[in-house]
Amino acid sequence: MSMMSIWRQITTKSFQSSSTLPSPSLFPTSSRFFSSSSPYVVKVGIPEFLRGIGNGVEAHVLKLETEFGGDLHKLLVVRTLKLKKLEIPCKHRKLILNHAHKYRVGLWRPRADDVKKFEST
């Protein structure tokens, strides 16, 4: 047998075996994983964003609100030096920049219960 015919047999068998897997539509789905209410804040501004981060970063809400005019997008693209000029401590700068990146990528959002907890106090 030539090498080409062996290769054809291997590839056709692998395609045949992969086609025997059940389709995803056959698996039972449960509605318990989907809820009608979202645990995340629908409208996120600078105060909700900073309160969602926690760890004392919410103390800088007024300073950042006045600097960026309430525009969250400007806060999400801010650089370290700009935050340093606003006299925000290093630990808080790191938290803001880390969470801003995660928020832009879509890996993190402030939870609604966190914001409600801070509003009640």
Tokens for 79, please give them: 């650089």
pLDDT tens by residue, 1-15: 677 777 677 777 655
pTM of full prediction above 0.85: no
Residue 4's CB is within 10 A of a number of other CB atoms, namely 8
Identify the residue with better confidence: 54 or 42.
54
pLDDT per residue as tens digits for the range 77-110:
999 999 999 999 999 999 999 999 999 999 998 8
DSSP code string of 51-115:
HHH-TTGGGGHHHHHHHHTT-HHHHHT--HHHHHHTT--HHHHHHHHHHHHHHHHTS---BHHHH
- Buried b / exposed e over 63-74, threshold 16 CB at 10 Å, is ebbebbeeebee
What pLDDT does 9 receive?
A: 74
